[in-house]
């Protein structure tokens, strides 16, 4: 029953999304929802795998594996059918009820039938396929899951191109925030230092790239070199800005990082007329009536071009592919996927290393960690530097992808958006941060604009003509713009997550325990007092 309920939930979520996009989106949602549902189900299903005698032939082994997988998949079939059915019902509602309300009538009934049948099959196939991996041994299962995920990640931009949904460009933005979230997760999740100015490092990475690879400064370095310089620059500034905050804890640390995070955009906005004169020779010695010649290092240099921003910025190019074009998001997509894979690899290695364990020890109890021989100064500084490194990557990619950088992008709200991604997904857990970043940023960049178009079409075609009062009419028309509510989205995410599930959607076991230790202690005390009464 629980499984059927999950199936209905997934079907409804996918179905509501098809409301916004229509067309082939139902099939794409079937793919995503199928895999998500399959992963969820396989966690609930019992493992049907039984070790096979090694003496049996290869053919027998294959047959045996297929049978166990089939058995697992069979149990997921009712759920898969429910999910697919709900999805298709929603899609049909979309085509025959919603679309006419938006002023678009169904012209090609064959297309509708084809998309819905394909969606139904895809949902069922991918749900059962993902669930059937439960029939493999533990090792094989995780490998098979990875292969499945890799298939989806690689196939996505091509599916997107075929179905003409044009999601890839927006997904790339979400992926930039995934990298930023991964970096912030080191500082906040692993080392437990709440950094409210993380966008400053993003800005430093982006501006480093902008200054070093833009023709406006006549230093056009290659992107593949600049991305490393940007990461190194961000890391250095992570050290410099982290060093003064070392004696602080908790909310004071958060406010100091916020202060730095506010100063950096002001800096980039205002470094437009830089003059550096040597003070001794220019005015201090003349005060004592000593004649000198004034030494000027820099005179009226425009470094960041203020609000106008730096544009254009050089783009990466590769043999066989040539220069990356903005018209073709697929190359950019694979570039950022490569950066994310590198980041995940580095972060996982770091977490398991001595340094990573030191971060977590500092997070749990700085005093005790210090007594155990961990150098808190070095550990915290490395957390800031490592966290900043990944935002350097993200900044370099962002600058090259957008082809221009503007100071307003890197203000306080950017820091908080990144923090929301990390909090939503789950502090201290790489998978959680990826899911959180993807969910929140696709909601921001993909669903809100789609919802805006959806609502405005619905209003002009159906709702507004039925409202006679002109004041109400204009008020409804002005306020039905979901993009205006994006701060609400992030704010509510933070408030609700803190109230309901502070450990995030996919928490790390350690942090969950920490956050709920008080409740568990209370429950234990209650239980022990009850048992005491019984006696």
Partner 1 sequence: METTKPKKKIDLRRTAIVALVIYIILLIGPIAGLDFPAIYAAVKANPLQLVQFLIIGIANGAIIAIIALGYTMVYGIIELINFAHGDVYMIGVFTSLTVLSLTGTLDSKDPGKIIFGLILALIIAIVVCAALNAAIERLAYRRLRNAPRLAPLISAIGMSFIIENIGLMWAAQAWLVPSFGTTGGASQKVFPDMLGALFKATGFNGGDVNMLASTGWALRLTIKDILVIVLASVLMIGLRLFVQRTRLGKAMRATAQNRDAAKMLGIDIDWVITATFLIGGGLAGAAGLMGGLYNNTAWWFMGFRAGLESFTAAVLGGIGNISGAMLGGFLIGLLRSFSDGYLSTRWTNAWVFATLVLILLLRPTGLLGEQTGQKA
Q: Name residues contacting partner 1, limited to 495-514 (CB under 8 A).
A: 495, 498-499, 502, 514
Note whether 250 binds partner 1 by CB under 8 A: yes
CB atoms under 10 Å from CB of 17, counted, come to 22
Q: Contact with partner 1 (CB under 8 A): which of 194, 229, 239, 240?
A: 194
Query: Is 456 one of the binding residues for partner 1 (CB under 8 A)?
Result: no
Taking CB under 8 A as the binding criterion, the range among 203-211, 276-284, 341-349, 432-440 that sits at the site for partner 1 is: 276-284
Q: Is the dihedral of CA 500, 501, 502, 504 positive or negative?
A: negative
Bridge partners (DSSP) of residue 277 are 296
CB 70 within 8 A of CB 135: yes
Using the contact rule CB under 8 A, the part of the chain among 124-132, 265-273, 396-404, 434-442 near partner 1 is 265-273
Token pair 């678009």 is at which residue?
Answer: 104
For residues 343 and 349, what is the distance between their CA atoms, to the nearest angstrom? Answer: 10
- Give min distance, CB of 408 to partner 1, in A: 11
Cα 353 from Cα 163, distance rounded (Å): 44
**Residue 471 binding partner 1, by CB under 8 A:** yes
Nearest distance in Å: CB 254, partner 1: 6
Does position 58 bind partner 1 by CB under 8 A?
no
Closest approach of partner 1 to the CB of residue 5, in Å: 28
Which stretch, 121-129, 135-143, 229-237, 274-282, contacts partner 1 (CB under 8 A)?
Answer: 274-282
Phi-psi region of 328 (alpha: psi -120 to 50; beta: other; left: phi over 0): beta
Three-state DSSP class for residue 486: helix
- According to the binding rule CB under 8 A, does residue 342 interact with partner 1? no
CB of 512: closest distance to partner 1 in angstroms? 12
Verify binding: residue 485, partner 1, rule CB under 8 A.
yes
Q: From the CB of 42, what's the least distance to partner 1, in Å?
A: 33
Residue 29 vs 497, nearer CB to partner 1: 497
The answer to whether 197 and 262 have CB atoms below 8 angstroms apart is yes
Question: Nearest 5 degrees, angle CA 204-CA 208-CA 210?
Answer: 115
Instruction: Determine which residue in the list 371, 479, 529, 531 makes contact with partner 1, applying CB under 8 A.
Output: 479
* Contact between 256 and partner 1 per CB under 8 A: yes
* CB-nearer residue toward partner 1: 1 or 518: 518
475-494 burial code (b ≥16 CB/10 A, e <16): eebeebebeeeeeebbeebe
Is the Cβ–Cβ distance between 7 and 37 less than 8 Å? yes
- Rounded CA-CA distance 337/134 in Å is 27
Does position 518 interact with partner 1 (CB under 8 A)? The reply is yes
Q: How many CB atoms lie within 10 A of CB 222?
A: 12
Spatial contact of 427 and 515, defined as CB atoms under 8 Å apart: no
- If binding is defined by CB under 8 A, does position 372 make contact with partner 1? no
Q: Which of 478, 529, 532, 535 binds partner 1 (CB under 8 A)?
A: 478
At its nearest, how many Å lie between partner 1 and the CB of residue 243? 10
Name which position in 412, 443, 467, 501 contacts partner 1 (CB under 8 A).
412
Distance CA(407)–CA(530), nearest Å, equals 61
| Interacting residues with partner 1 (CB under 8 A) | 194, 196, 244-245, 247-252, 254-256, 258-260, 262-263, 266-267, 269-271, 274-280, 282-284, 412-413, 416, 419-420, 423, 471, 475, 478-479, 484-488, 490-495, 498-499, 502, 514-515, 518
């Amino acid at each position: 029953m629980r499984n059927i309920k999950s199936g209905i939930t997934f079907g409804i979520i996918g179905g509501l999304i098809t409301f916004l996009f229509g067309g082939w989106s139902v099939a794409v949602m079937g793919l995503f929802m199928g895999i998500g549902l399959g992963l969820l189900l396989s966690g609930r299903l019992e493992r049907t795998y039984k070790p096979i005698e090694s003496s049996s032939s290869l053919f027998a082994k294959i047959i045996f594996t297929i049978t166990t997988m089939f058995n697992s998949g069979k149990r997921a079939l009712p759920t898969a059918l429910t999910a697919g059915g709900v999805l298709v019902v929603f899609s049909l509602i979309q085509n025959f009820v919603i679309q006419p309300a938006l002023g678009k009538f169904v012209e090609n009934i064959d297309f509708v039938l084809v998309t819905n049948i394909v969606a139904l099959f895809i949902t069922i196939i991918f749900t059962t396929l993902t669930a059937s991996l439960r029939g493999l041994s533990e090792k094989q299962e995780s490998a098979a899951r990875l292969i499945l995920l890799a298939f989806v990640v690689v196939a996505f931009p091509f599916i997107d191109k075929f179905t003409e949904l044009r999601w890839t460009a927006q997904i790339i933005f979400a992926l930039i925030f995934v990298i930023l979230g991964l970096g912030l997760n080191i500082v906040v999740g692993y080392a437990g230092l709440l950094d409210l100015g993380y966008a400053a490092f993003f800005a430093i990475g982006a501006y480093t790239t902008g200054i070093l690879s833009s023709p406006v400064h006549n230093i056009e370095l290659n992107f593949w070199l600049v991305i490393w310089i940007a990461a190194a620059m961000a890391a250095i500034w992570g050290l410099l800005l982290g060093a003064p905050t070392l004696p602080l804890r908790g909310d004071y640390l958060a406010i100091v990082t916020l202060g730095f995070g506010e100063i950096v955009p002001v800096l980039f906005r205002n470094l437009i007329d830089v003059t550096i004169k040597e003070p001794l020779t220019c005015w201090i010695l003349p005060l004592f009536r000593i004649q000198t010649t004034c030494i000027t290092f820099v005179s009226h240099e425009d470094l960041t071009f203020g609000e106008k921003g730096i544009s254009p910025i050089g783009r990466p190019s590769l043999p066989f592919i040539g220069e990356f074009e903005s018209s073709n998001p697929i190359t950019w997509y694979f570039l950022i996927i490569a950066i994310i894979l590198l980041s995940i690899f580095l972060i996982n290695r770091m977490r398991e290393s001595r340094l990573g364990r030191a971060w977590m020890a500092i997070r749990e109890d700085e005093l005790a960690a210090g007594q155990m021989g961990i150098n808190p100064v070095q550990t915290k500084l490395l957390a800031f530097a490592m966290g900043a490194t990944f935002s350097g990557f993200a900044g370099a990619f962002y600058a090259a992808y957008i082809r221009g950088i503007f100071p307003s992008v890197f203000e306080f709200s950017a820091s908080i958006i990144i923090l929301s991604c990390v909090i939503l997904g789950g502090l201290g857990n790489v998978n959680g941060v990826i899911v959180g970043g993807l969910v929140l940023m696709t909601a921001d960049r993909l669903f809100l604009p789609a919802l805006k178009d959806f609502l405005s079409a619905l209003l002009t075609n159906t709702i507004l003509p039925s409202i006679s009062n002109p004041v109400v009419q204009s008020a409804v028309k002005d306020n039905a713009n979901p993009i205006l509510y994006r701060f609400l989205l992030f704010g509510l995410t933070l408030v609700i997550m803190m109230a309901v599930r502070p450990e995030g959607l996919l928490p790390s076991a350690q942090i969950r325990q920490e956050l709920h230790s008080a409740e568990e202690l209370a429950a234990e005390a209650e239980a022990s007092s009850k048992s005491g009464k019984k006696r």
